[in-house]
Amino acid sequence: MADHNYDYDVLIIGAGPGGYVAAIRAGQLGLKTACVESRETLGGTCLNVGCIPSKALLHGSELFEEAAGGHFATWGITATPKLDLSKMMAEKTKAVGELTGGIEFLFKKNKVTWLKGHAAFEDAHTVNVGGEKVTAKDIVIATGSNVTPLPGVEVDNAAKRIVDSTGALDLDEVPEHLVVIGGGVIGLELGSVWRRLGAKVTVVEFLDQLLPGMDGDVRKEAQKIFKKQGIDMMLSHKVTGAKVAGKKVALTIEKSAGGDEQTITASHVLVSIGRRPNTDGLALDKAGLAVNKRGQIEIDHDFRTSVPNIWGIGDVVPGPMLAHKAEDEGIAVAENIAGLTGIVNHDVIPSVVYTAPEIAGVGITEEEAKERGLSVKVGKFPMMANSRAKANRDTDGFVKVIADAETDRVLGVWIIASLAGTMIAEACIAMEFGATSEDIAYTCHAHPTHAEALKEAAMAVTGKPIHM
């Protein structure tokens, strides 16, 4: 039952993986719950224009590449695939529709009211949704993030020439030459999609390496693999301007440190230089809130903002911008509001890049260990020596385990392998339970599986892998 003073016990702003999960859990806990979402469909960035459509296109494009000369040829299968791009896009749209519809079903099942419209605070307990005042005892801000703009390079998704990730998920032709600005997760995933479908792809990255934040060995290996796959890299470069002329875009590029200006011509440009929190139009000040220097809403360990009845989760608060992090925070915040103890272990949040091979990591990098003055032992095992990878002819990559030199506790695991995104879950469980590398090494793993490479990398921490 709602507190008699308020329309709802909990009002959640935003129905992405943070907000919709918080709403469902709040409903499960018997709280009278509403979720405000301004999009036409539930699921936020992730389901509508992020995780799901990108993974659908990564899957479809991988099948195309395999058939067009990838593993099909290796296995003596001859095929001449023909791409029907509109069918591929339609299948992606179907997957998105099924999943966003699924959230609507779950809202009904858990008695969550969807308030359609844009929410803006009137005070700490009142939100205006499309001219209507709605009050709640507790309010959760789960408004997510949007694309960071690049001055001089104007995104116009409707024109389909200079696009952001949303536009790149919806092109109606395969680019002749796609220039990707930013060699991070989005750039490499969506760059891979269009390369596999036939585009020439050039990645312009400000730093001297791809994938900031990942372990150094992984970044080096990833760079080699993407280069081998045919992606051109312009590292330590930045784009300073872009001009559209008909079906071409002229890009001015210079070295990150300045100088050596050059012009390259592309048919399409993807701007993927990061994302920033969504707080515009929320009228945070009316609730007594402000954002930090990075535009985020600060929270404490329990996800509470500086205003006691207002909470924050997901991309709009500090931490990695990942759907599973938002989801776990969604569960925890609802439990805290209900008077239970909701906790997220932010030291064990995996991240996965869904390219081929996949790239995954959890915990600290070797570089971070050094910066923090930690003494660590490292075990590495190449997929080349893993029997299943060898049998499948997909031997790119390795597994790296970083353990505390004294206690042997696992502090980080980094993987490049076709199934890295699935393999990393085992590392997360191990780390969540405070496992040592020896614990993983003495755990029986099914043979032949890619997962055995994690066991062997754990054995390598003490210098005793079997197959190397």
Q: Given candidates 187, 191, 412, 465, which one binds ligand NAI under the rule CB under 6 A?
A: 187
What residue 315 binds from ligand NAI, ligand FAD, none (CB within 5 to 8 A, per partner kind)?
ligand FAD
What residue 39 binds from ligand FAD, ligand NAI, none (CB within 5 to 8 A, per partner kind)?
ligand FAD
In the window 99-128, what residues touch ligand NAI (CB under 6 A)?
none
Cβ closest to ligand FAD, residue 37 vs residue 205: 37
Continuous H helices in 258-349:
323-337
Interface with ligand NAI: number of residues (CB under 6 A): 27
Which residues in 63-86 are b (16+ Cβ under 10 Å) and which e?
A: ebbbbbeeebeeeeeeeeeeeeee
β-partners of residue 360 are: 352, 415
Binding letters toward ligand NAI, positions 11-50, x by CB under 6 A: ----------------------------------------
Q: Given candidates 16, 44, 53, 182, which one binds ligand NAI under the rule CB under 6 A?
A: 182
Binding letters toward ligand NAI, positions 199-218, x by CB under 6 A: -----xxxx----x------
Is 142 near ligand FAD (CB under 6 A)? yes
CB nearest ligand NAI: which residue? 184
DSSP 8-class letter at 150:
B
Is 321 near ligand NAI (CB under 6 A)? yes
What is the nearest approach in angstroms of ligand NAI to the Cβ of residue 318?
12
Is 64 near ligand NAI (CB under 6 A)? no
Is 355 near ligand FAD (CB under 6 A)? no
Binding letters toward ligand FAD, positions 24-53, x by CB under 6 A: ------------xxxx----xxx---xx--
What is the nearest approach in angstroms of ligand FAD to the Cβ of residue 126?
14
Tell me which residue has tokens 């054995």.
459
Q: In whole angstroms, what is the distance from residue 16 CA to residue 98 CA?
A: 15
Is 270 near ligand FAD (CB under 6 A)? no
What is the nearest approach in angstroms of ligand NAI to the Cβ of residue 37?
20
Binding letters toward ligand FAD, positions 158-177, x by CB under 6 A: -------x------------
Nearest of 375, 374, 418, 414 to residue 396 by alpha carbon: 418
Joined together, the tokens standing for residue 435 give 């496992």
| The pairing of beta strand 410-417 with beta strand 177-181 | unpaired
* Active-site residue flag, 59: no
Which whole-number Å values give the CA distances from 104 to 49, 110, 140, 141, 247, in the listed order?
17, 10, 19, 20, 40
Which whole-number Å values give the CA distances from 74 to 71, 77, 154, 230, 295, in the listed order?
5, 7, 43, 18, 50
Which whole-number Å values give the CA distances from 375 to 222, 241, 402, 449, in the listed order?
26, 45, 10, 31
- Provide the sign of the torsion angle of the four alpha carbons 112, 113, 117, 119, taken in this order: negative
Q: Residues 237, 447, 450, 467: which is the catalytic one?
A: 447
- Please report, as a single letter, which amino acid is at residue 342: G
> How crowded is the C-beta side of 316, counted as CA atoms within 13 Å?
30
What is the nearest approach in angstroms of ligand FAD to the Cβ of residue 54?
4
CB 111 within 8 A of CB 33: yes
Q: In whole angstroms, what is the distance from residue 323 CA to residue 354 CA?
A: 14
Interface residues toward ligand NAI, by CB under 6 A = 150, 181-187, 189, 204-207, 212, 238-239, 272-275, 320-322, 351-354
Which residues are part of the catalytic machinery?
A: 447
Interface residues toward ligand FAD, by CB under 6 A = 13-19, 36-39, 44-46, 50-51, 54-55, 118-119, 142-145, 165, 186, 278, 281-282, 314-315, 321-324, 326, 354
